[in-house]
Amino acid sequence: MESISIGLMGLGTVGSGVVQIINNHQDKLMHQVGCPVKIKKILVKNLNKERVVQVAPELLTTDADDIINDPEIDVIIEVIGGMDNTKAYIKKALMNRKNIVTANKDLMALHGSELLTIASDNGCDLFYEASVGGGIPILRSLVDGLASDRITKMMGIVNGTTNFILTKMSKYGSAYEDVLKEAQELGYAEADPTADVEGLDAARKMTILATLGFSMKIDLDDVKVKGITEITEEDLKYGKQLGYTMKLIGIAHREGERVEVSVQPTLLAESHPLASVQDEFNAVYVYGEAVGETMFYGPGAGSLPTATAVVSDLVAVMKNMRLGVNGKSAVTPQYPKQLKRPSEKYAKYFLRLHVRDEIGVFANMTSIFSEHNVSLEKILQMPLKNKGLAEIVLVTHQASLQDYEDILIKLRDLQAVKMIKSSYRVEGSVNV
């Protein structure tokens, strides 16, 4: 093979990084695959836009078919994002027997199984390492490095924007709106930050991780999602007082044959390894029956970190081309999907509420917990000035989600309970 020709779809942040790495690491790529690697065409929206990387004008096109239908292009790298048009491009390219590398988590979370089947049927690779965790090689680690193990739990910080916001709120007591604005100015958050702050971006990544890690077809609708928009300064203050740090955590947990997947604000014990992951960094904690605990940490976004993952996939595709084994690596899910019922999901919970500051109120509340065999690990009680109310903060021991939700319903029905202010999952134990 004299050379390998690449079609690049997208020349934004990640696409520019891909061009830089391919141009600057040509000697390493040659060593890995035994021939030169060249970018033949680049799909862009605007031919005349100023760009951070210099490319020859004749490489640029606004017509996707110039790449998809070019018989000389061996691999297409898709970094334009989006859903409908992109899905159509990738399907058409796979039908034309083009190998695909994508960073598109939305597409892979929603349509990954369909596209992987098309790729396999056409003898093509479809790799998507960059869709989760930016520069962290988490997907390859699950598929290859931990292939012989049985993964029981994955939990992690998989969205850099929300981690940046929560880090600033926790460290400096900044208001959510102020930190969000700062994140947008720094380019960590989009103009419309909904996908990040409502947990949707993290949920898509956890869908991909759970499908691969558990070899089970997990759908986005199977993920219970709660974002960070309702977290208050008081929640963070009380969490810190009790020895916890707030993070948006994705959890995928398997017990026996049943699984649960969720994304939600979680109070982590300050001794937990994920509690020290700051700013825009990502980290994924993986528990395997044989390997025990492993943690993958690194930049979760950015031009070069994400482009590194893209080009790593490109190298894998090119090695498969040399060996003539493209399309052979896709593994279909091994197990039927079985989701846990609420009575099978166990966690500790943080609960903050306002109650009447009267004798007997606390006894009435604790009797509700006792009815459901849920004990309390920590209790704080503070009077609220001039309101005749008290603020109570509780942390439970392990309880099933079913019992906890039943407790919340009964607490709301108590006349003495004026408001349930907040409720969060808790991970890890604090030694007091």
Kind of pairing, strands 399-400 and 244-255?
unpaired
Residues 6 or more apart whose CB falls under 8 angstroms from that of 362 comprise 355, 381, 392
Helix (H, G, I), strand (E, B) or coil at 331: coil
Per-residue three-class SS string for 285-297 = EEEECCCEEEEEE
Whose tokens are 């790449």? That residue is 67
Phi, psi (5° rounding) for residue 96? -85, 10
Distance CA 382, CA 366 (A): 17
Q: Name the CA dihedral angle for 100, 101, 104, 105, rounded to a multiple of 10 degrees.
A: 110
Residues 6 or more apart whose CB falls under 8 angstroms from that of 295 comprise 273, 274, 283, 284, 285, 286
Distance CA 367, CA 232 (A): 28
Cβ distance 79 to 310 under 8 Å? yes
Distance CA 222, CA 253 (A): 13
Q: Name the CA dihedral angle for 246, 168, 232, 281, rounded to a multiple of 10 degrees.
A: -40
Whose tokens are 């020895």? That residue is 243
Helix (H, G, I), strand (E, B) or coil at 122: coil
Cβ distance 225 to 165 under 8 Å? no
Distance CA 403, CA 136 (A): 37
Helix (H, G, I), strand (E, B) or coil at 130: helix
Kind of pairing, strands 37-43 and 4-9?
parallel
Radius of gyration of the chain, Cα coordinates, nearest whole angstrom: 24
Cβ distance 4 to 22 under 8 Å? no
Here the tokens at position 304 are: 């070069």
Catalytic residue from among 41, 98, 168, 205: 205
Residue 247 bears catalytic tag: no
Supply the residues annotated as catalytic. Answer: 205
